[in-house]
Amino acid sequence: MLLRNPNISRLKAGYLFPEIARRRREFAALHPAAKIISLGVGNTTEAILPHICSALVEGAGALGKQETYSGYMDEGLEQLRKQISAVYYGGKFCVDEIFISDGSKCDIGRLQLLFGKEARVCVQDPSYPVYVDGSVLIGAALDWEGEGYGSICYLPCTADNGYFPDVRKISKNSLVYFCSPNNPTGAAATREQLAVLVKRALETESVIIYDAAYSEYIRDASLPKTIYEIDGSQECAIEVNSFSKSAGFTGVRLGWTVVPKVMKFSGGESVNKDWSRIMATIFNGASNIAQAGGIAALDEEGLKEIRKLTDFYLENAALIRQAVQKLGVKCVGGDNSPYIWANFGKEDSWEVFSRILEKCHVVTTPGSGFGPAGAGFIRFSAFGRRFDIQEACRRLANY
Ligand code: PGU
């Protein structure tokens, strides 16, 4: 038989969320009467709102008629790309700088192909696990050290630095993953902070992969919703975003990536052209049904529905934050993001996770799953039915 790709054995044992699901199943098998509530994985629960949903239905219906049938869609519908540029970027980008995808996780996984395994990867610590695991899979963690991910540079984001990292740690020619509003800390970077990040990326000839999957949760009008609000960012930043958490498309699958044309590799080649080449080779376009929904999500009515849906989850977040604070546990997030990041002190995150599961029958996410700086933290997700959130908050008092 062929040898296994050695990078696979360099991954941590299991992807974080299936591991949580496994522990939940184990607990449920031992306690069949327990009514477990999940505040773990960030998975949407509310029905897609009517205007957007009817566009999805129409999109499906169009496939059943000869006159409106469509097949492969390549980089995405022009109308959708134009709307994304207008709604999110003030019309700054032309259609061929916006690539429609089947979601931001999928793009995050593919983007590494642009840089290969020589890139020095920097991640916020804690961060969404796909940045590190995706890097390991491509072999970017070359001097892997057995237990950890040797060559990955962790940028601690803690209470001490206001959850914004010391960018001086970013060295020459790095690939920097940056997520704002952040998963898991909920911190949303200010314009000044992003300007510092962009300046450092330009100085070090680094590239930022900016994950804006939660931008629709920003309520503080002074906070930037995209990295492209910062001068110089078009030369050094790629942005990924998604309809998952804004329109409830976690199961529908639709996202996009912006690759500005001015961005060049050190050899002068166009990053945009290469991304187009990669996408044409290994991706065959997002579902045309999903794209019909995306178009509706970005018109006047659709944007109102996005606001309504994200408001709902933010109200959940406020309830969870109160319940956690009542325990005397310090927490941040939940105001411009759907995650609450709670500090349980020196205790191991998985132990806290187990205790909350045992005492409250509530599933959470252990902070250590997001990186070393997550030790002692628990992430609470605000994605849930209101009655479940209220019940979970009541039960948390038993902790
Ligand atoms: N980016 C960030 C920062 C995310 O938190 C998530 C989902 C995604 C991208 C993925 O978005 P899609 O557009 O739907 O692909 N994070 C959730 C779900 C877990 C997972 O494995 O993606 C979470 O609980 O962290």
Q: Which protein residue has the closest C-alpha to ligand 1 atom 17?
A: 42
**What are the pLDDT digits (tens) for 76-134?**
999 999 999 999 999 999 999 999 999 999 999 999 999 977 788 999 999 999 999 99
Q: Which protein residue has the closest C-alpha to ligand 1 atom 16?
A: 42
Can you tell me whether residue 89 is helix, strand or coil?
helix
The full set of domain ranges for the chain reads 7-47+302-396, 53-299
245 CA to centre of ligand 1 in angstroms: 9
Residue 48's pLDDT is what? 98
> 237: Cβ–Cβ under 8 A, 6 or more apart, which residues?
198, 201, 207, 208, 209, 210, 227, 228, 260, 263
- Give the whole-angstrom CA distance, residue 100 versus residue 366: 32
110 CA to centre of ligand 1 in angstroms: 15
The mean of the pLDDT values for the chain is 94
Residue 150's pLDDT is what? 54
Q: Which protein residue has the closest C-alpha to ligand 1 atom 22?
A: 105
42 CA to centre of ligand 1 in angstroms: 7
68 CA to centre of ligand 1 in angstroms: 33
**What are the pLDDT digits (tens) for 6-63?**
888 888 767 889 999 999 999 999 999 999 999 999 999 999 999 999 999 999 999 9
**Token duo for residue 245:** 């958490």
CATH class of 7-47+302-396: alpha beta
Amino acid, single-letter form, for residue 106: C
Residue 148's pLDDT is what? 44
Residue 15's pLDDT is what? 81
- Our mutation pick for probing the ligand 1 site, out of 105, 240, 241, 250, counting the most ligand atoms within 8 A of Cβ, is 105
Give the other-Cβ count within 10 Å of 94's Cβ.
Answer: 12
What is the CATH number assigned to the segment(s) 53-299? 3.40.640.10
- Give the whole-angstrom CA distance, residue 184 versus residue 340: 8
Q: Which protein residue has the closest C-alpha to ligand 1 atom 8?
A: 105
Residue 152's pLDDT is what? 86
* Element containing residue 290 per DSSP (H, E): helix 288-297
Identify the segments of the chain with pLDDT beneath 50.
144-148
- Give the whole-angstrom CA distance, residue 115 versus residue 78: 27
Spell out which residues line ligand 1, taking CB within 6 angstroms: 17, 41-42, 103-105, 128, 179, 183, 211, 213, 242, 244, 250, 255
268 CA to centre of ligand 1 in angstroms: 33
Angle formed at CA 306 by CA 302 and CA 308, multiple of 5 degrees: 115
> Which is it for the CA torsion 277, 282, 288, 290, positive or negative?
negative
129 CA to centre of ligand 1 in angstroms: 9
